[in-house]
Amino acid sequence: MNLTRLVYYSQRNPSVSMNMPELMKTCHRNNSGMNVTGILHYNGNAFLQVLEGGRAEVSSIYHRIAADQRHINIILINCSDVRERMFPTWSMGLHEGMDDATKGIFLRYFASNNVNPETVSAESLLDVLQDLSAELN
């Protein structure tokens, strides 16, 4: 009950430096304190992130993320109540890069491996992220 999944897409702000290890430390600290889990895919230019947890907690973290100068053009793709977490294992799993295996996963669900997340369904994006998360195990 009261479990929410939020999916958004954004682009790296080229004018602001990005320290991924530092960012992940913050994610782990804050998310684990609020029982929020999820996955963050970063291909070097863009982010695709899922946050799962209580409505208030997901909402609070998302508002902070949306105000962060390190990324721009933040597009909320989906936010809905769910019965079960899809990404229960990580306070925030990080999947980085676009190697051949990653391209193959995108091509499993989309016509091209550089699909614009704004133009496709949240369900298909979640399929991709779930397959990417299997690579993190």
Ligand X SMILES: Cc1cc2nc3c(=O)[nH]c(=O)nc-3n(C[C@H](O)[C@H](O)[C@H](O)COP(=O)(O)O)c2cc1C
Q: Which residues bind ligand X (CB under 6 A)?
A: 23, 26-27, 30-31, 40, 47, 49, 61, 64-65, 68, 70-71, 92
Closer residue to ligand X (CB): 37 or 102: 37
Closer residue to ligand X (CB): 20 or 82: 20
| Residue 111 beta carbon to ligand X: minimum distance, rounded to whole angstroms | 26
3-class DSSP string for 57-104: HHHHHHHHHHCCCCEEEEEEEEEEECCCCCCCCCCCEEEECCCHHHHH
Cα–Cα distance, 44 to 97 (Å, whole number): 6
| Residue 24 beta carbon to ligand X: minimum distance, rounded to whole angstroms | 9
Phi/psi for 82 (5° steps) reads: -135, 160
Closer residue to ligand X (CB): 52 or 102: 52
Closer residue to ligand X (CB): 47 or 110: 47
Structure tokens belonging to residue 117: 């997340």
User: Cβ of 121: how many Cβ atoms within 10 Å?
Assistant: 12
| Residue 78 beta carbon to ligand X: minimum distance, rounded to whole angstroms | 16
**Residue found by looking up tokens 């550089």 in the block:** 114
| Residue 85 beta carbon to ligand X: minimum distance, rounded to whole angstroms | 14
